[in-house]
Amino acid sequence: MNHIPLPQAPALAHIEIPVYESDSNPYRYTQPWLSYPARHGFDFIAIQVSDELHEYPGGLRSNLAAFVQSWLFFGVLEEFLGVKQDHDEWIVTTEKGHRVIRTSQLCGKLDAWRARIKQLDGNQQLEVRAGIDQVLGHMDSMHATLSWTTANIVQTVQVGSGSYHSDLLPDELNLSLDVLHNTLSLARNVVFPDAHLPIPTYTNSRLVHDQLAKNGWCSSEVSRLNQECSVVSGYFSSRLSILGSPTIHSKCSHWQCEAWQVDQSNYRPKHVNTLCDCMFVGLPTERIAEIIRVSQIPCLRLDRRGTGLELVAIDQRTPIRFTAISHVWADGLGNHAANALPHCQVRLIQERVNMIANAGSTPLAPSDDQPFWMDTLCIPVGSGFEDERNTAIAEMATIYRRSGTVLVLNNELNSISVARSPWELSARITRTTWFRRLWTLHEAVLAEKTVFQLQDGSVDLSELQTVVQEWDDSSKFQDLLCRMIFLEACQPYSKLLLFKSKSLSTRVRDIWTAVQWRNTSYQEDETICFANMLGLDLSSILAVSRYESEAKIKRMKTFILLQKYFPQGSIFQGDYSDLTRPSTTALVGLEWAPQSFVFRTRKSAPEHPDTQLALADELGLHVSLVALIPDKGWDIFTQAEMNSTVVGDLHQAFFMMPLEWDYFYVVRWDMARGRWDLANSLRHKTFPALILQQDITLVTDEALDLGEAVGRKDGTSMTRMFDGDLIAEEAREEVLREMMMEARGETVEEDYTPERRSFSASTRAIIVAASVMDASPDTSNTTDSLQDKRPRAKGPNSNVAVEYQARIIQHVEVQKEMFSTYTRAACKQMERYNGSTHSINSCEKWSDRVRWCIQ
């Protein structure tokens, strides 16, 4: 672990990786690599397809650890570097007499390895790449086998990623293998850039997550780190010292930060230090309002005496540049009662604004104090100024764009020096509260330039990115490792810049990803931020008073109707519990929309970016997506729900499409995500449809066609498909023999155990209660006939355009799976697979030509 840099004044030293030694066998690695396990009595090929590991005796696990360290650590090192390694060169004895591994020399050895690779010709380099790719791939899969085998999980710990970890191997060993794999993968990608290997973000060890929690990290921040960063970067972050109270995040979940929420009833502005009791300074709200009424920007600076504030009015003709302040209200720089702050805070803000304007050189004279704009001081508060307040909020986009610089003030950065390394600054800045709030995202997106105030100066992360990215792949590996840590730690800022670079018309496609992990104390204000970021007119949103009944939902509907177009994939984000359920009929048609856009999506970014936009209007969101229609209607879902009554159980239903004999579909949903809302009246008047985000019906496995066809009793023919690489020749012959017996009507002995192939394709989906929007009274009567509810004359195969009204009932996952053998009818195979006495349900596919109005 010692090759990973430590932050300045780390909270924790490097984790010591013990040398695991066996009394019965020294396990000194010798080539060849793949046969090493068999030569020491381990059959890892068998282990990969069995649950044998859970029976491994606890008393022999130290022996297993010694073997794994020899093979997957020292063996992989030797195979990758291509030079025999002396184990003792990597081992030191601590003051307490413990033998531990040191990797301080790893980056230097990788530099020498790269130099040797450059001496090889093209074919030799390709041969080396193929060899190390094989070793790294096997290392990853074998380590995963040891760490993730389901039957072997004796003690489990759920971390932010929802992952579970085994205790078969020591955590320190698991971490060392993860770090080694990450480091070698980076080196491999640098030397062979044409075909990159993915660097995993998961870890097989609890240590990093446990130490992040110990250091006071928010659980949701750990989840974000696990999504965005490799183990190396996560390990570096776990060494950072605590910046705030270690208990502030005690109520946070893996999905959302609940800290730093503002309670207006007991909020008080703070002084620079707790011993200060200086007076508050500000300007009368009426004076600020006057400036706003004449369409000017009210900016401030300390007066010449330095005891009060003077007003600087800026309009389109004023060439004066000013600094806009971005801050988190929980830090104590807000004020609900007056446009004023303690004098100590205003003086400090002025000093910092001056330093930016003067590039940190000689302090400016009082007469040269630079003007600044700050919401606390420049947006009118109190009764009687609601119109001016709304005008000021509506002009925030103009204000932040007009400002030369947006200065970020965050208490967590007040103890950090600008002299820290770029990778430490990146890791510290992006984990602050500022990166968790929605208003601050909105301010950064609107800003021309954003800088972060530290203890002794300010930092522009964009400038740091430019410096670090100048280290090209020819740099030393130690520098490249630091570059990787910087870039991964900087991802929250990089995503912000990417969103900012989009045109106003296309930003809506990325809105879900942009606001992920953000939060706001007042959800009724989030649509203000969205509208500003998307370049919309705020007046109609602000016309809905935040104090109205259902103000949050009303503003959401106003925002949706203003924006008009949203990605079709919007309906698949989140869960049923996230959806809007308005109580007033005036808000009908909004149920598809989320209660809030600010929640954690299931993935760090959409698996399939949805570029197609759908129209949103008073009726709902109009989409064109593939759907599966179960022949048995609602019964299949209600029966699956009745099979288990425990909240949180995973329910599943099975389908096959006619003539698609090789595949079946599994629909899974968790009732803990939200109960079904399906009244009897709705059930009788609608039919269920399973709308897919991605058309996985078109996804098929690479297959081998066994001849023309096998004759059926009805004279038709059916082609069967097999994978030639995975089914042995004798197995294919046996399958073909039994298929011919079935075709002739002969009985095949019922000793068959169905197996599934490893092929699978999955997608998010929604179950909807659907009906024809222009249905006549005859098509909406109370009947269980599915045909009565979806008239075939206007169905999906008709030339008549029909739009189906659909209400979301449940968010689900749909997985397409493949049978490995085909000697039985599909329903017979499914009976065995599902443990059910019922035949498998069939479904009909409706193409994406079908229109759905999602309410």
- Reference 634, options 668, 693, 674, 682; nearest CA is 682
Same domain flag for 746 and 800: no
The confidence score (pLDDT) of residue 226 equals 82
The mean pLDDT of 175-202, rounded to a whole number, is 89
Q: Indicate the range of 86-90, 242-246, 350-354, 700-704 predicted with least confidence.
A: 700-704
Same domain flag for 230 and 127: yes
Same domain flag for 660 and 738: no
Res. 304 pLDDT band, cuts 50 70 90: confident
The confidence score (pLDDT) of residue 797 equals 46
Q: 366 preceded by cis ω (within 30°)?
A: no
Q: What is the mean pLDDT of the chain?
A: 79
Domain boundary among 219, 238, 257: 238
User: Which residues, 6+ apart, have CB-to-CB distance to 332 below 8 Å?
Assistant: 268, 269, 270, 411
**Does residue 260 form part of some domain?**
no
The mean pLDDT of 778-801, rounded to a whole number, is 41
Query: Is residue 245's pLDDT more than 70?
Result: no
The confidence score (pLDDT) of residue 216 equals 80
Query: Is residue 489's pLDDT more than 50?
Result: yes
Same domain flag for 493 and 430: yes
Same domain flag for 26 and 39: yes
The confidence score (pLDDT) of residue 746 equals 61
**Does residue 495 form part of some domain?**
yes
Backbone angles phi, psi at 764, to 5 degrees: -75, 155
**Does residue 339 form part of some domain?**
yes
447-456 per-position pLDDT tens digit: 999 999 999 9
Question: Which of left, alpha, beta for 835 (phi over 0: left; psi -120 to 50: alpha)?
Answer: left
User: Which residues, 6+ apart, have CB-to-CB distance to 460 below 8 Å?
Assistant: 449, 450, 451, 452
How many residues make up the chain in this entry? 855
The confidence score (pLDDT) of residue 739 equals 54
**Does residue 6 form part of some domain?**
no
The pair of three-digit structure tokens given for residue 372, joined into one six-digit string: 């600044």
Helix (H) or strand (E) holding 559: helix 551-563
CB 302, CB 350: distance < 8 Å: yes
Q: Indicate the range of 26-35, 47-56, 74-83, 160-169 predicted with least confidence.
A: 47-56
Same domain flag for 713 and 811: no
Res. 252 pLDDT band, cuts 50 70 90: confident
Res. 585 pLDDT band, cuts 50 70 90: low
**Does residue 215 form part of some domain?**
yes
DSSP secondary structure string for all residues of 196-254: PPP-----S-SHHHHHHHHTT--HHHHHHHHHH--HHHHHHHHTSPP-S-TTTTTT--S
Q: Supply the range of the domain harboring residue 655.
A: 627-699+758-854
DSSP secondary structure string for all residues of 472-505: -TTS-HHHHHHHHHHHHHTHHHHHHHHHHHS-TT
The mean pLDDT of 208-214, rounded to a whole number, is 83
Beta bridge partners of 566: 614
Looking at the chain, the whole-number percentage of residues with pLDDT higher than 70 is 74
Single pTM value for the model: 0.81
**Does residue 728 form part of some domain?**
yes
Domain boundary among 565, 594, 624: 624
Res. 49 pLDDT band, cuts 50 70 90: very low
- Reference 718, options 691, 743, 681; nearest CA is 743
Query: Is residue 535's pLDDT more than 50?
Result: yes
CB 613, CB 621: distance < 8 Å: no
Same domain flag for 69 and 126: yes
**Does residue 245 form part of some domain?**
no
Q: Indicate the range of 125-139, 296-310, 339-353, 565-579 predicted with least confidence.
A: 565-579
416-444 per-position pLDDT tens digit: 999 999 999 999 999 888 998 889 998 99
Q: Indicate the range of 95-109, 536-550, 719-733 predicted with least confidence.
A: 719-733
The Cα–Cα gap between 160 and 448 comes to: 34
Res. 246 pLDDT band, cuts 50 70 90: low
The confidence score (pLDDT) of residue 666 equals 87
The confidence score (pLDDT) of residue 43 equals 67
**Does residue 1 form part of some domain?**
no
The confidence score (pLDDT) of residue 366 equals 56
Same domain flag for 31 and 68: yes
Same domain flag for 133 and 73: yes
Same domain flag for 307 and 402: yes
Same domain flag for 595 and 636: no
CA atoms within 13 A on the CB side of 487: 13
Res. 200 pLDDT band, cuts 50 70 90: confident
The pair of three-digit structure tokens given for residue 478, joined into one six-digit string: 């130690």
368-424 per-position pLDDT tens digit: 789 999 999 999 998 889 999 999 999 999 999 899 899 999 999 999 999 999 999
For the chain, the domain total comes to 5
Query: Is residue 41's pLDDT more than 70?
Result: yes
Domain boundary among 501, 536, 563: 501
Beta bridge partners of 545: none
Residue listed under structure tokens 């009426």:
286
Same domain flag for 614 and 737: no
